[in-house]
């Protein structure tokens, strides 16, 4: 089994501590961190090379939002996310200035932006959940063929769906008409739990 997330592997291991974590493959920070079953966490060199630029940009953005409490920064080590879910319309005027700084700063640097729901994430260029799954699949391609089942509810999960063309992709959301690469839908987290429960009973 593989768990892929935008969160760090450290936070995933803490959240899933009731599982046998050493039998699972983990990918954190959209693929910036990889931990194969029974191995240590690894970070590719090209991602490490992007870190000084990401740290510098985080410092610039932090200075802007210090006095605007509705903006918060989530520092993931290899990337950082600017959250503005709590901002009202009047506070969103600052977002134009922030975006201008972000786009100007990443020119000619191995850094890119990922726009999500009320979140902008700054991360090393080329890392995403789809590439992470591809890396893990290549490691195990000589093993018994498997069927990949991908579930997700965010923009970043579309990378997973696009890379999983021979598997099953399930979008989680309130409407069956959501714009997605996924072929199947689950309405909410309750239906996800029901689906995983049924899957577990079939496979055990």
Domain range annotation of the chain:
45-124, 147-204
| Cα-based distances in Å from 52 to 48, 72, 111, 144, 163 | 8, 21, 10, 41, 30
Predicted local confidence at residue 84, as pLDDT: 92
Angle ∠(29,157,11) on CA atoms, nearest 5: 30
> How many whole angstroms separate alpha carbon 119 and alpha carbon 67?
18
**Residues contacting residue 180 through CB under 8 Å, at least 6 positions apart:** 158, 161, 169, 171, 173
Sign of CA dihedral 87, 88, 91, 96: positive
> How many whole angstroms separate alpha carbon 172 and alpha carbon 188?
6
Q: Half-sphere exposure (CA, 13 Å, Cβ side) for 1?
A: 11
3-state secondary structure of 85: coil
Pair 36, 25: CB distance under 8 Å:
yes
Predicted local confidence at residue 59, as pLDDT: 92
Predicted local confidence at residue 178, as pLDDT: 67
119 phi and psi, to 5 degrees? -145, 140
Q: List, run by run, the mean pLDDT of 10-residue segments along the chain (204 residues).
A: 87 87 89 90 85 91 89 90 89 86 88 87 88 83 74 86 88 74 89 86 70
Predicted local confidence at residue 90, as pLDDT: 85
pTM for this predicted structure: 0.73
Predicted local confidence at residue 91, as pLDDT: 83
> How many whole angstroms separate alpha carbon 34 and alpha carbon 24?
11
| Chosen CATH of 147-204 out of 3.90.700.10, 3.40.50.1000, 1.20.1250.20, 3.90.600.10 | 3.40.50.1000
Closest CA to 37 of 52, 50, 24: 24
45-124 folds as: Alpha-Beta Plaits (3.30.70)
Q: Half-sphere exposure (CA, 13 Å, Cβ side) for 161?
A: 19
């Amino acid at each position: 089994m593989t768990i892929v997330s935008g969160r760090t592997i450290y936070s995933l291991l803490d959240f899933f501590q009731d599982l046998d974590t050493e039998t699972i493959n983990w990918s954190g920070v959209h693929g910036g961190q990889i931990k194969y079953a029974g191995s240590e966490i690894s970070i590719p060199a090209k991602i490490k090379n992007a870190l000084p630029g990401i740290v510098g940009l985080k410092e610039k953005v932090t200075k802007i939002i210090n006095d605007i409490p509705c903006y918060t920064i989530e520092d993931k080590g290899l990337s950082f996310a600017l959250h503005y879910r709590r901002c009202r319309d009047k506070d969103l005027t600052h977002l134009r200035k922030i975006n201008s700084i972000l786009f100007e700063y990443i020119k000619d640097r191995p850094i890119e932006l990922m726009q999500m729901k009320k979140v902008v994430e700054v991360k090393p260029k080329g890392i995403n959940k789809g590439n992470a799954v591809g890396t893990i699949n290549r490691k195990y391609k000589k093993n018994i063929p498997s069927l990949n089942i991908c579930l997700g509810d965010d923009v970043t999960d579309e990378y997973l769906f696009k890379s999983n063309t021979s598997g099953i992709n399930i979008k989680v959301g309130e409407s069956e008409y959501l714009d997605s690469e996924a072929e199947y839908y689950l309405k909410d987290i309750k239906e996800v739990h029901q689906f995983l429960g049924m899957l577990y009973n079939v496979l055990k």
